[in-house]
Amino acid sequence: MAITRETVPHTRGEQLKKRSIGVPSLVFLIIAASAPLTVLAGGVPSSFAVTELLGVPLSYLVLGLILVFFAVGYGAMSARISNAGAFYAYVAAGLGKRQGLAASGLALVSYNLMQVGLYGIFGFALSSLLATLVGIQVAWWICALIGWAIVAVLGVSAVDFSAKVLGVLVVLEFVIVAIINFFSFRYAPEGVTTTTIEPSNFIGVGLGTALAFGIAAFMGFESGAIYSEETKDPQRSVPRATYIAVGLISLFYAFSAWALSVGVGPSNIISQSQEYGPDLPFVMLDGFGWKTLADIGQVVLITSLLAALVAFHNSVARYFFSLGRERVIHPWFGQTSDRSGAPRSGSIAQTTIGLIAIVIFAVAGNGSEYGIMYPILTMFTWLTNAAAFGLIFLLVVTSLSIIRYFDKNPHGHGVWVRVVFPTLALIGLSAVFVLIMLNFDTMIGDTGPASLVWIMPAVIILAGVIGFLRGEHLRRSNPDVFEHIGQGGERLEPAPREPLV
């Protein structure tokens, strides 16, 4: 019999706030991590600039389809296992407990790198905005610390409160992007053309790079399962929210990328993306005579990044909580706030890591030849792309785990849910993972030593190896803790036990 909340009781200080968020709030939490305006301002121009491929909008549809395949099995599994550790618990149930701990290492480090890396672009964007709007020169790291302080407060607040704050910020993002899309089609210097959504302009030399770059726009789509223990209906909320989020952001990204290309003009989209980068949507609005709207858009870009920081912070904090609750790491990490039900210790740990990272990059970047671009070219680029590498690898492993899990017990699901869709996801995600490896040098740029190309992926893989070794150590030294791995949340059905030999 599986370990359930009845057989392994937790103290009040080891429980998240139950039944506190519904499907709409969960969708906002998922989309906040994907940051729609950040993708339009940063991801889309970067893809056009680096790949020199006109068909970039179609990459979001292709990637969205792959992730929908993944979401089918992922959603079915989330209806059976409710655990704040998500990937950790799913891999443990499908592939084994040691493999589950390996997945927890991958997830913890990857989400950490993603969250910390975002402080680089947040600090840069806020510093630039203050210089442009009010003429105040503030160092990027001071601006990053402002964001850090806000995230620290929201991280220990009740999840429903964070969801409401993120909901407002996400709605603002969609409104601004929708306005940018509207003016793009209204002014369209070369007319409303389908050039950038024609398959002939998608299949080319830069296709692999486009998919490798584009997948970063979806990172965080899987985070709904991390909140499963806090949802009002664990069996239905996560699958529904994941389907809605993946479908919405896939179509919205593809449409908005196409709109941006129409607003700039297909003949100029690549060159202007290379020239203006993340400023391109706002430069375009300014060119249309809407400078005030462009300034508002840049303000909302700051809030978009803040929303993503909070979302990834929450993910890391809950992984810390899940591992601490099961005594895989120190029990302190499994403590929650009696007042808010938030994973207090995990949040404090992530806040501390963020502070250390900001200080390290601030000191290292003092007097750097890259000037004001330093946090973008190093902290943001290095860490977030390494995180994308780790998270895609984790999705590949989870796809395999889903297949193995339902092979042990179909739970009434048909072959499409148990095998076909997860297998298609496994093939598609494996292909994207290979593309990331082949293009990793391009993704992290040439702002650091050449060794970064293998050091950053090695750090991710090493985290998984350490997790596996920790599992083997627990198997030998503490069988009781080992037996409970991945079962700290709500088990909705008996799960097979892994033998100790």
The C-alpha atoms of residue 138 and residue 2 are separated, in whole angstroms, by 54
DSSP state of 501: -
Query: HSE of 106 in the Cβ direction (CA atoms, 13 Å)?
Result: 27
pLDDT at 347 over 90: yes
Residues of the chain with pLDDT > 90: what percent? 50
Q: Between the CA of residue 121 and those of 250, 326, 358, 373, what are the distances in Å? A: 23, 35, 11, 9
Lowest mean pLDDT among 240-249, 265-274, 311-320, 448-457: 448-457
Residue 247, H or E segment: helix 234-264
The C-alpha atoms of residue 104 and residue 85 are separated, in whole angstroms, by 8
Res 278: pLDDT: 83
Domains and CATH numbers, the chain: 17-486 (1.20.1740.10)
Residue 92's pLDDT band, with cuts at 50, 70 and 90, is very high
DSSP state of 229: G
Residue 82, H or E segment: strand 81-82
Q: Which residue has the higher pLDDT, 10 or 139?
A: 139
Look at residue 188 and give its three-state secondary structure: coil
Q: Where are the alpha helices (DSSP H) in 156-233?
A: 159-187, 207-214
The stretch 324-353 carries a mean pLDDT of 91
pLDDT at 186 over 90: yes
Per residue in 402-411, pLDDT (tens digit) is 999 999 888 8
The C-alpha atoms of residue 23 and residue 487 are separated, in whole angstroms, by 24
Instruction: Name the packing angle between helices 207-214 and 421-438 (round to 10°).
Output: 110
Q: Are 122 and 147 in contact (CB under 8 A)?
A: yes
The C-alpha atoms of residue 102 and residue 466 are separated, in whole angstroms, by 7
Q: Where are the alpha helices (DSSP H) in 11-96?
A: 23-34, 36-38, 44-51, 56-78, 87-94
The C-alpha atoms of residue 58 and residue 47 are separated, in whole angstroms, by 12
- State the pTM of this model: 0.88
Q: Which residue has the higher pLDDT, 312 or 15?
A: 312
Per residue in 217-262, pLDDT (tens digit) is 888 888 888 888 888 887 788 888 888 889 989 999 999 999 999 9
Per residue in 402-437, pLDDT (tens digit) is 999 999 888 888 999 999 999 999 999 999 999 888
Q: Residue 440: which of 417, 422, 461 has the closest Cα?
A: 461
